Amino acid sequence: MNTRFPSAPVRPLPAVAGIGLRAEHYDVVLREQPALGWVEVHSENYFGSGGRPLAVLEAIRARHPLSLHGVGLSLGSTDPLDRGHLRQLKALCDRFEPALVSEHLSWGSVGGVHANDLLPLPCTTEALNHVCARVATVQDALGRTLLVENISRYVDFRIPSLPEGEFLATLARRTGCGLLLDVNNLYVNARNHGVDPHAFLAALPPAAIAEIHLAGHTEKTLRGTSLLIDTHDRPVCPAVWTLYAEAIARFGPRPTLIEWDSALPPLDVLLAEAARADAVLEGRRHAA
Amino acid sequence: MLRELQRDFLAAVRGSAPPRLQGLIAGRGLEPAERLMVYANNHRLTLTAALAGAYPVLARTLGEGGFHALAARYLLAHPSRSGDLHGYGAALADVIAAAPPPQAPWLAELARLEWAVHTAYFAALPPALALDALRGVAAQDHPRLRFVAHPALGLVASAWPVLAYWEAATDGADDPLPPPAPAAEWLLVLRAGADITIGRLDAGTYTLLAALAAGATVAEACADALAAAPDLDPGTALGGLFARGALVGFHL
């Protein structure tokens, strides 16, 4: 296969840790060229037609495998699929040859007005059929497998629903899409809504899980009730590391991302978190 | 069912949670409205941060409270229309101008300049104008020529001299001096590599460039420019625009 990136050609991502790259770390990564297993960026940050972000991504991609992680396609929205957004994503895939492309099991717009947030879907049959059709359309348009990620949520709908793990498993089975398991999101939902994280993991088809996300969250207390908010602004908490080890024991080593999006620390802090995930992955390889 | 739920949920995200949606949400120790408020806050903070990213000098000038209040007005009047926030905020200057702060009537002009800088930052960089090919165009065809503006080109005709303030604030000055009095300033924003460049133009050259950028022929643009500035030498002005890289293509 022809590639514009001979020193980091397209291939399945290695089952090692990668980091989410944000603009605050562009300079240090370009200057110090740290060893990175792979890099993930938010697709929409590179939708411009030029400018520094695209120039930086060229330089990064020349050295590292890349994952494109979308936050704005609004897979679960009942609005028509945004074809312009999809075209821009396709153009980005053609240019940067990412190893993985992912989106969220969420929605973000109604009547063309966007929340620019990952809003929760009820896990109903109606929503499942809708998302299956949308994922199939996106995969056809991109000509590749899409990964779909479980999100954190702060509401629980009183609507007859499937368990979320079963919803995702059916989505993967019907569309052939991959799954991006966000262990922090699973933990947040377990704490916020009493989701059983072990049952959730048990419901997922191991072969579909192509990537794992790890991130930090913030605990707020409102009138004595604790609510975890998925803030991506601090280290991964001990309980999430434990749940991650359980997931890796169950599914085997998987490419694992350290996601940090606000109050970014020095790059070394991200690299230390990545090294910790690598140790878990390495341990699993030896156990196998 | 899903459509209706999403419509109600978006209303909650934008600040008013419909009662029937609240009835569909389990409280688990909190009011449904309190849970929905998490989304409303997240939405407001995300869009406010996007605006502050596009308008850093304005955000600094207004301070956190003032900028958040402006952003709240903007969110109400101009909801986000895309999953990509880089284009969000284009009309902020108009929203400021509709109710200009009496102590700083020049803020709308500052916002226009910042938006031009923001859009220039993400524009493509095409090859420079092919001057040799342009020299090959016969003199009698010059009036019919049309030019293609640089994709990063921003034109700001300001009623206040805001560039000095913007430059001082961008260079990190603690307390840049605000523009002392109204005075027209014609600005051209471009990008070379990663660097934004901003130049001052005279009224005639500005009018010439604005007309050319809008697709006028050289003859039409010169007529506009001479109406605005009878002393303008259009040939010299055009040469200056070539030298700045404001025009990148031409066709007959």
Residue A8 has pLDDT above 90, yes or no: no
> For the residues of B67-81, what is the DSSP string, one character each?
HHHHHHHHHHHS---
Element (H, E) at A107: strand A107-110
For residue A236, give how far its alpha carbon lies from the nearest alpha carbon of chain B (Å): 21
Torsion of CA B209, B211, B212, B213, to 10 degrees: 80
Residue A1 has pLDDT above 70, yes or no: no
**At how many degrees (to 10) do helices B218-228 and B203-213 cross?**
150
In sequence order, the 6+-apart residues with CB closer than 8 A to the CB of B50 are A116, B85, B86, B88, B89
| A53-77 mean pLDDT | 96
pLDDT in tens, A107-133: 999 999 999 999 999 999 999 999 999
Q: List the single best residue of A75, A81, A88, A116 to mutate versus B (max B Cβ within 10 A).
A: A116
Q: List the single best residue of A154, A228, A262 to mutate versus B (max B Cβ within 10 A).
A: A154
Which of A50, A117, A124 is facing B43, going by the closest CB pair?
Answer: A117
Confidence of residue A183 (pLDDT cuts 50, 70, 90): very high
The DSSP output letter for B183 is -
Per-residue model confidence (pLDDT) at position A3: 85
Per-residue model confidence (pLDDT) at position A29: 97
Q: Over pLDDT 90: what percentage of chain B?
A: 94
Q: CB of B82 within 8 A of CB of B88?
A: yes
| A59-67 mean pLDDT | 96
Per-residue model confidence (pLDDT) at position A48: 86
For residue A206, give how far its alpha carbon lies from the nearest alpha carbon of chain B (Å): 29
Per-domain residue ranges of chain A: 17-287
For residue B147, give how far its alpha carbon lies from the nearest alpha carbon of chain A (Å): 20
Q: Which residues of chain B have pLDDT under 70?
A: none
d(CA A20, CA A147): 16
> Any idea which architecture A17-287 has in CATH?
Alpha-Beta Barrel (3.20)
